Amino acid sequence: MGLMYLPCILVAGGLFVLCFFQPTLAVRTFIVVFIIGLEGFCVISLLFPRKVPITSRLAAELTSDELDLFNAYKLHFLAPGLTRELSSVVAMIGLASYGFVALLLWKGHYVEAGIIGVNCVLVGPLSHKLSPFNGLKGMAERGNEIALRRFDAWDSAWKKVSEFRRRLIEYRVP
């Protein structure tokens, strides 16, 4: 369990208990902190990745399939620990959303339940984009051609990117 996962579980659990007594406060806090804050950060990080100068030098070392995989999941290759952690937290938010939706419908807060219910649908693709390995494996086993090519290129691309990152850190190449 990572450093972000446990505090998020505790906060979401506390908000769920608070939802029994103050549903409006609890749900709006959940929406602001988790859905807008944390998931918004993930979406912005995926849509607008920071400019990384290593990609042009790295592109020369990768095959076309590996480069396609790297470009599709650039954030995962550049910050693998962060993306795995965020993927787990986003999946936890999705599971917590189901509990919130049921409780909010019971309490009669239909608008908030609808907002959080839509989030239940969005967390799956976001979690896959943050940590794609298992999703690619499943799609490749079902016969998806693009996923099969990307999954076949995964190990060699991972080794090349890891080696490249190690050389950058070791030699401090700008």
User: Looking at residues 77-91, what average pLDDT do you find?
Assistant: 86
The residue with tokens 């749900």 is 27
> Above 60 in pLDDT, residue 128?
yes
In sequence order, what DSSP letters do the residues of 114-159 get, joined into one string?
HHHHHHHHHHHHHHHHHS-HHHHHHHHHTT-HHHHHHHHHHHHHHH
How does pLDDT run across 146-163, given as a tens digit for each residue?
888 888 889 898 998 888
Gap between the Cα atoms of 64 and 56, Å rounded:
13
Are 42 and 130 in contact, with CB atoms under 8 Å apart? yes
| 5-15 mean pLDDT | 84
Domain edges within the chain: 5-163
Neighbour tally for 12: CB within 10 Å: 21
Measured between its terminal Cα atoms, the distance across the chain in Å is 34
Residues 22-77: tens digit of each pLDDT: 988 999 999 999 888 888 888 888 888 776 666 677 778 888 888 888 888 888 88
Q: What percent of the chain has pLDDT over 90?
A: 17
Mean pLDDT over 69-88 rounds to: 85
Q: How far apart are CA 78 and CA 135, in angstroms?
A: 19
Count each helix (H run) and each strand (E run) in the chain, helices first. Answer: 10, 0
